[in-house]
Structure 1
Amino acid sequence: MKALVLRDLRLAVRAGGGFGLGLAFFLIVVVLVPFGVGPEADILRRIAPGILWVAALLAALLSLDRIFALDFEDGSLPLLATSPLPLEAVALAKAAAHWVTTGLPLTLVAVPLGVLLNLAPEAYAWLLAALALGTPALSLIGTFGAALTVGLRRGGLLLSLLVLPLYVPTLIFGAEAVRRGGEGLAATVPMLMLGGITAGTLAVMPFAAALVLRINLR
């Protein structure tokens, strides 16, 4: 499993599998927002948590279709399905590699980019904690969506339509935790809900992804 994660990390960096693309998209969205809504500091501070979370969510979405697509195209996915490693572990390894190349960089970059949106100083720690807790759920849900659409021609649009509704709870509680933290309110409840979503996806999504992979490979 460790070897599979390292292999996917190398492919993501060498083949442009979303490592730089997601960060570039995230940066562009955050930079463009002040031009669109105006330079008013109060408005930017109020919408900053939601904008940062929406941008991170869409940036994570960009590379989802490559999670299984490269393995399917070069014929290594059927070999992985017949290897001693269970497909559930393969799906978990794919999700882990996606998070390391997409979710983790987005989490680290979001804090300095919050300055561009005049994010409240009290919210930076909550932003880092919320993204670190919530982005693994995005990768796990995305892995299930990628498994569901693997082998489909032009499946990227279908993947987005399937995955985006499942991302909504993570977006709601993640942005709410940052907003409450920035206003000095208790953010324990949304953080607990965010942790529950991540734990639930960790328990369910690898098995769901493995199930649909077996169906698609028949």
Structure 2
Amino acid sequence: MIALLIRDLRLAVRAGGGFGLGLSFFLIVTVLVPFGVGPETGLLAKIAPGILWIGALLSCLLSLDRIFALDFEDGSLDLLATAPVPLEGAVLVKAIAHWLTSALPLVVAAPLLGILLSLPAEGFLWVFVSLLLGTPALSVIGTFGAALTVGIKRGGLLLSLLVLPLYVPTLIFGAEVARRGAEGLAVETPLMLLAGISLGALAFLPFAAAAVLRMNLR
């Protein structure tokens, strides 16, 4: 499992789906928002948590179609399906590799980019915490979506259409945690709901993704 994780991390970076692409897109979104809505500090501070979450979500979408595509093209996916390692474990490793290369850099960069959006100082910690708790769900849900569209040529758009509705609860509660934290309000309820979504996705979706992969490989 560790060898598979290391292999996926190397492939993600070599194939151009590493942290650089997602971070660049995240930075572009953050920089363009003040030009679109104006330089008013109060307005930017109010919308900053939601903008940071939307930017992180869209950045994660960029590399979803690569999760299984390379393995499907070179036949490695068939070997994983017949290997002694459970396919569910391999799917979970794929999700972890995606989170480490695509989501974790965004989690670290989000508080810094919040400065460009005049995010209140109280919100830096909660933006970081909300993304740290919520982005695992984005990666696992995205892995499930990638399993659904594996083998489909140019399935990136279809993958986005399938995954985006499933991302909505994570986006709602994640942005709410960041917003409440920035305003000094209680964050316990949306924080627990956000953690519950991530834990539920980690518990169930690897099995669903593995089942879908077995059907697609028949």
TM value normalised by structure 1: 0.99
CA–CA separation in structure 1 for the residues paired with 2:13 and 2:26 = 17
Q: What amino acid is the match of 2:73?
A: E
Structure 1 counterpart of 2:216:
216
Corresponding residue of 1:39: 39
| Per-residue CA distance 1:20-54 (angstroms, 9 max, x = gap) | 11111000000000000000000000000000000
The AA in structure 2 aligned to 1:185 is L
Please give the per-residue CA displacement for 1:189-213, whole angstroms capped at 9, x wherever unaligned. 1100000000100111100000000
| Aligned residue runs from structure 1 range 97-176, under 5 A | 97-176=97-176
Q: Which runs of 5+ in 2 are unaligned?
A: none
The equivalent of 1:182 in structure 2 is: 182
Contact 1:88 1:206 in 2 (8 A): yes
Q: Assess if the C-alpha contact under 8 Å between 2:17 and 2:102 holds in 1.
A: no
Q: Aligned runs of 1:19-34 on 2, under 5 Å?
A: 19-34=19-34
Cα distance between partner residues in 2 of 1:17 and 1:3: 19
The alpha carbon displacement at 1:14 in A equals 1.6
Q: CA deviation at 1:15?
A: 1.7
* Distance in 2, Cα, partners of 1:189 & 1:107: 21
Equivalenced residue count is 218
Q: Equivalent residue for 1:80?
A: 80
Q: Which amino acid aligns with 1:165?
A: P
Note the residue ranges of structure 1 that are not aligned, 5 or more in a row.
none
Q: 1:18–1:62: 8 Å Cα contact kept in structure 2?
A: no
Give the structure-2-normalised TM-score.
0.99
Alignment-derived partner of residue 93 in structure 1: 93
Whole-angstrom CA distance in 1 between matches of 2:62 and 2:205: 19
1:177 maps to amino acid: V
Counterpart amino acid of residue 80 in structure 1: L
In structure 1, the partner of 2:49 is: 49
Instruction: Report deviation, 1:101.
Output: 0.2
Q: Distance in 2 between matches of 1:67 and 1:12?
A: 8
Post-superposition offset of 1:65 = 0.2
Q: Hey, what's the Cα distance between the residues in 1 that align with 2:189 and 2:102?
A: 26
Q: Which contiguous aligned blocks of 4+ residues in structure 1 show a shift greater than 6 angstroms?
A: none
CA distance in 2, matches of 1:80, 1:203: 20
Which amino acid is 2:60 matched to?
A: A
For residues 17 and 40 of structure 1, what CA distance do their matches in structure 2 show? Answer: 35
Q: Deviations over 1:50-93 (max 9, x none)?
A: 00000000000000000000000111110111100111001000
Q: Does the residue aligned with 1:45 lie in a helix, a strand or coil?
A: helix
Distance in 2 (alpha carbons) for counterparts of 1:18 and 1:154: 20
The alignment yields a C-alpha RMSD, in angstroms, of: 0.6
